[in-house]
């Protein structure tokens, strides 16, 4: 019996998350992006103009980190921020052409990390693994506790 079988699953998941984050950071670094910046660009690609709070949730950062993160992306020419048409102080963000280009490069790097991570698994095991992770995520959502 391997020593891994004695470790709690939550411990293994946390180790996987830490290892995955390190691999992603290394893989996207040549694009000039950090992993949170890449997550923001990816989210903006699908949901331009999303609120800072929504972007923070999607990028797994604290809401107070989002403004400096967006300013950094704007300074790099990857995001354009404009006053929200609805008014107020909010600035709606969207990707620039350079932002889309950088995101494409980062997405390729992420796909390579995912492929490397899943290499030990057969195709059917990969599908089952993804389904199991989805089931675990669903079980942890607040609405599933009622």
Domain boundaries, the chain: 3-120
* Confidence at residue 3, expressed as pLDDT on a 0 to 100 scale: 53
Please say whether the beta carbons of 43 and 35 come within 8 A: no
pLDDT digit string, tens, across residues 62-116:
989 988 999 999 999 999 988 766 666 777 889 999 999 999 999 999 999 999 9
Q: Quote the pTM value.
A: 0.81
CA distance 82 to 85: 9
Average pLDDT over residues 116-135: 96
Tokens in use for 53? 């709070």
Average pLDDT over residues 37-49: 91
> 58: pLDDT confidence band, cut at 50, 70 and 90?
confident
Pick the CATH number of 3-120 from 3.40.50.10800, 2.160.20.10, 1.10.10.10, 3.40.50.300: 1.10.10.10
Integer CA distances (angstroms), 20 to 12, 81, 110, 112, in order: 12, 30, 10, 12
Count Cβ neighbours within 10 Å for each residue of 2-19 and write b for 16 or more, e otherwise.
Answer: eeeeeeeeeeeeeeeeee
CA distance 39 to 58: 7
């Amino acid at each position: 019996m391997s020593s891994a079988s004695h470790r709690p699953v939550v411990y293994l998941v946390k180790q996987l998350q830490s290892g995955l984050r390190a691999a992603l950071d290394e893989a996207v670094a040549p694009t000039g992006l950090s992993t949170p910046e890449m997550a923001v660009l990816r989210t903006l690609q699908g949901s331009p103009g999303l609120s800072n709070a929504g972007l923070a949730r999607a990028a797994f950062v604290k809401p107070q980190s989002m403004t400096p993160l967006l300013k950094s992306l704007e300074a790099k020419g990857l995001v354009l921020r404009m006053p929200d048409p609805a008014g107020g102080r909010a600035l709606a963000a969207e990707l620039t052409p350079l932002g889309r280009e950088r995101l494409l490069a980062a997405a390729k790097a992420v796909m390579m990390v995912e492929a490397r991570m899943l290499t030990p698994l057969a195709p059917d095991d990969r599908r089952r693994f993804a389904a199991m992770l989805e089931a675990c995520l669903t079980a942890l959502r607040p609405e599933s506790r009622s």
